[in-house]
Amino acid sequence: MANYTGPKVKLSRRVGVPIADLPKHTTKRQLNAPGVHGFRGRRLRDYGIRLNEKQKLRYHYNVMERQFRHYMAEAGRLKGNTGESLLRLLEQRLDNVIRRLGWARSIWAARQLVSHGHVLVNGRKTDIASYSVQPGDTIKLKEKIHKVVRENMESMAGHDVPAWLSFDPSTLTAKVLEAPTSDQIPFDVNVNLIIEFYR
């Protein structure tokens, strides 16, 4: 699947919110719109507002447009609220779970950790970043990457692991306890606007 490899801070500036919990994304100066003068006084119309919400979610989970449309279609087929289903599908991606556990500092680093074959799900090497974890799954790391991951965890001291995951720091093993709910997702986005965008 394709992957965005361009400048990352530009994405945060484009949508006006930090899409990663890294200092260079969260500094106020960096959230000005891109360009020499930015978009001063720019007013978004209804379409632009919905597009911006959709882009926020796409950038936060590092998903390309075509794949995002697949997630939207899948969320529409599932029972229950489409918006909550969409967030749950995105949150259960393996690269996102690695980020939520604090094993990688960003979604891009988490994707690299997965695609380089350092992650085991239920004892099997899984190198697909979009792999969807399910309740009961056990996630481990290969021994050779433990040192790097521990350094990442030290640099992110105070990072909170969400309640739907359990984590043993001594063995770097995690377990998926349940499917995440929308209130457990630490990224503020209006999903209703995203659903309206695709209608």
33-70: pLDDT as tens digits: 666 665 555 678 899 999 999 999 999 999 999 999 99
| pLDDT(22) > 90 | no
Where helices occur in the chain by DSSP H, the ranges are 9-15, 23-26, 46-61, 65-77, 82-91, 94-101, 107-115, 146-155, 191-197
Q: What is the maximal distance between C-alpha atoms in the chain? A: 54
Phi-psi region of 79 (alpha: psi -120 to 50; beta: other; left: phi over 0): beta
CA distance readout (Å), 4 to 97, 111, 174: 19, 11, 28
Query: Where do the domains of the chain lie?
Result: 9-90+187-197, 93-178
Give pLDDT tens digits for 141-199: 999 999 999 998 898 877 888 999 999 988 999 999 999 988 888 888 999 999 999 88
| pLDDT, tens digit, 9 for 90 and up, residues 7-16 | 888 888 888 8
Tens digit of each residue's pLDDT (9 = 90 or more) over 74-115: 999 999 899 999 999 999 999 999 999 999 999 999 999 999
Bridge partners for 140 per DSSP: 120, 173
The pLDDT score that the predictor gives to residue 136 is 95
Topology, domain 93-178: 3.10.290
pLDDT at 134: 95
Residues contacting 148, CB < 8 A, separation 6+: none
Confirm whether 9-90+187-197 and 93-178 share one CATH topology: no
User: What pTM does this model have?
Assistant: 0.89
- Domain 9-90+187-197: give its CATH code: 1.10.1050.10
